[in-house]
Amino acid sequence: MFLGIDCGTQGTKAVVLDADTGQVLGEGAAPHSLLSGSNGRREQDVRQWTDALVAATHTALARAGLDGERIRGVGVSGQQHGLVLLDERGQPLRPAKLWCDTESTPQNERLLDWLGGAEGSLARLGVAIAPGYTVSKLLWTLEHHPDLIERTAHILLPHDYLNFWLTGRCVTEFGDASGTGYFDVRARRWDRELLRHIDPAGRLERALPRLIEPDGPAGELRPEAAAALGLAPGVLVSSGGGDNMMAAIGTGNISPGSVTVGLGTSGTLYAYSDTPAISPHPAVATFCSSSGGWLSLICTMNLTNANAAVRELLGVELDHFEALVAQAPIGADGLTLLPYFNGERVPPLPNATGTLTGMRIDNLSRANLCRAVMEGVTYGLRYGFDLLRDSGIECRRVRLVGGGARSAVWTQMVADVLAVEVVRGQQTEAGALGAALQAAWCHARTLDPQASLAELCQRCVGLGDEPGVQPDSQAALRYEQAYRRYRVALDQMHGLAQDAP
């Protein structure tokens, strides 16, 4: 039995996996809250993560009807890019700045200029750094809280911090490190010169965690953490990774030919490659995978959070929201929403705000507004999907995961807007499942160095909806017209018509 943890923006999820049968026996979840500001601040108290980890684990074990003594390994998936600073006693120095924090946009622009723009960043790092990446958060902290940098002993990402809480060790793996902005994804090593540019004193460089392989252990569960979780001390903790890397494992996306689309707080699209296939489009991030290869990845910053904002505005529950979406016509009767409530990463608009266009006295209805936001966030995925295809990634079928994948209305919309077959995983919490699978793989490798992750995925990753949700050709044509209207609005507001196919 293996425990998979996924620490996301809105909460932490846990699953208990029987790696012999491939069955998820129990699930648990606990929420987080955001510390937000109108200047783009998006932070969280890391104690929420550990409290939620404990609560979600107890719920998952109880629902599985299991004694925690039967767990043989733990894997952690975490929201990428977040910055956690610890002092020499291992205590957090301030709240973690998250992937969706855009307060460090000015620092990112200066760093990008120093790197030679997007082209220089791609040539040096294999990625074009964006405001969400960790590196600009370090420079922001140095400029706004220099006293904290003086006290910093460890620089960790969210999943690294949870591994530290579990094991007492400061390590990381290549996949999550890829999203820091101070890591060379081709050579799989830190860019120490970049950190010395930010901090010539070398404090940041000395605070880096040790890099380990994705199939290696981060350590063993320390007694205090074991007691809090109800597990046995000394249980293996795998390297873990970023949520996208773990979700790739959790959807079996560990060989070329598959594209995973994640409908979570953010929207993600990614495809596996055996080589670091750097895209000519800076918005396509080529990260290392947590299975030994690379992932070409797109991330939009507004997805279920945008839907939730409209739901809360109208005071409707999720089922009623989806019913309203279904009532409205494709194209929302002319309403177009650019749902950049939190700025945006793809397209690169960190300081953008939401824009609603096409309003008339006869089309400004609750149903049209609900459809406009769901269509708007899905058009953001289409924008990224076109970038992936233009980068040479062929796709006739996508694997859909995340909380939004439970919606039949949204699943059909994704199929129609992308004009591809959509298959939903039987386990929508792919990040937690992938973390459990990586833990099982790591545990198996301690017994057999040749143990196969592919065999584990084949046994444990189930795909539902076979043969899949097919695009409706007539609906796809109407969505294409509405998408073109979205692109016109994007060009009029931000001048980006030339930036995507």
Q: Is residue 443 assigned to a domain?
A: no
**What would the mean pLDDT of 340-349 be, rounded to a whole number?**
90
- Decide the pairing of beta strands 183-184 and 189-190: antiparallel
Q: What count of other Cβ atoms lies within 10 Å of the Cβ of residue 306? A: 24
Q: Residues 151, 206: contact at Cβ < 8 Å?
A: no
Q: Which of 191, 214, 244 is the last residue of a domain?
A: 244
Are residues 368 and 231 part of one domain?
no
Final residue of a domain: which of 194, 227, 244? 244
Residue with tokens 């796709």: 395
CATH code (residue 53): 3.30.420.40
Which residue from 242, 235, 243, 208 is spatially nearest to 219, judged by alpha carbons? 235
Inside any domain, residue 432: no
Q: Over 80: is that where the pLDDT of 496 sits?
A: no
Helix (H) or strand (E) holding 87: none
Rounded to an integer, the average pLDDT of 313-322 is: 96
> H/E element holding 421?
strand 421-424
Q: Which domain holds residue 142?
A: 2-244
Give tens-digit pLDDT for 358-415: 999 999 999 999 999 999 999 999 999 999 999 988 887 899 988 898 999 999 999 9
242-268 in b/e form (b: 16+ CB < 10 A) is bbbbbbbbbbbbbeeebbbbbbbbbbb
Q: Which of 226, 244, 262 is the last residue of a domain?
A: 244
CA distance 323 to 6: 30
pLDDT at 434: 96
Q: Are strands 73-78 and 236-238 parallel, antiparallel or unpaired?
A: parallel
Residues 343 and 491 in one domain: yes
Mean pLDDT of 279-304: 93
- For 29, the enclosing helix (H) or strand (E) is strand 23-31
Q: Are residues 240 and 265 in the same domain?
A: no
Q: Which helix (DSSP H) or strand (DSSP E) does residue 325 occupy?
A: helix 318-327
pLDDT tens-digit readout, 55-101: 999 999 999 999 999 999 999 999 999 999 999 999 999 999 999 99
Q: Are 74 and 236 in contact (CB under 8 A)?
A: yes
Same-domain status, 138 and 32: yes
Residues 177 and 99 in one domain: yes
Q: Other C-beta atoms within 10 Å of 69: how many? A: 12
Specify whether 257 is located in the same domain as 132.
no
Let me know whether 488 and 360 are in one domain: yes
Name the band, by pLDDT with cuts 50, 70 and 90, for residue 352: very high
State the pLDDT at residue 229: 97
- Within a domain: 387: yes
Whether the per-residue pLDDT at 424 is higher than 90: the answer is: no
Whether residues 216 and 261 fall in one domain: no
Residue 481 lies inside a defined structural domain of this protein: yes
Does 80 lie in the same domain as 224?
yes
CB 274 within 8 A of CB 256: yes
The three state secondary structure string of 340-406 is CECEECCCCECCCCCEEECCCCCCCCHHHHHHHHHHHHHHHHHHHHHHHHHCCCCCCEEEEECHHHH
Claim to verify: residue 32 and residue 143 sit in the same structural domain: yes
Confidence of residue 19 (pLDDT cuts 50, 70, 90): very high
Q: Do 361 and 270 share a domain, yes or no?
A: yes
Structural element, H or E, at residue 132: none
Lowest mean pLDDT, pick from 3-7, 199-203, 214-218, 349-353: 349-353
Residue of 243, 416, 491, 499 with catalytic role: 243
Q: What is the mean pLDDT of residues 217-228?
A: 97
| Element holding 479 (H helix, E strand) | helix 473-494
With respect to residue 15, please indicate whether it lies within any of the assigned structural domains: yes
Q: What is the 3-state secondary structure (H, E, C) of 210-275?
A: EEECCCCEEEECCHHHHHHHCCCCCCEEECCEEHHHHHHHHCCCCCCCCEEEEECCCEEEEEEECC
Please give the angle made by the CA atoms of 249, 251 and 254, to the nearest 5 degrees.
Answer: 50
Asked about 333 being catalytic, the answer comes back as no
> Which residues neighbour 291 within 8 Å (Cβ) at sequence distance 6 or greater?
214, 245, 248, 249, 254, 272, 453
Whether residue 406 sits in one domain with residue 268: yes
Q: Please tell me the total count of domains within the chain.
A: 2
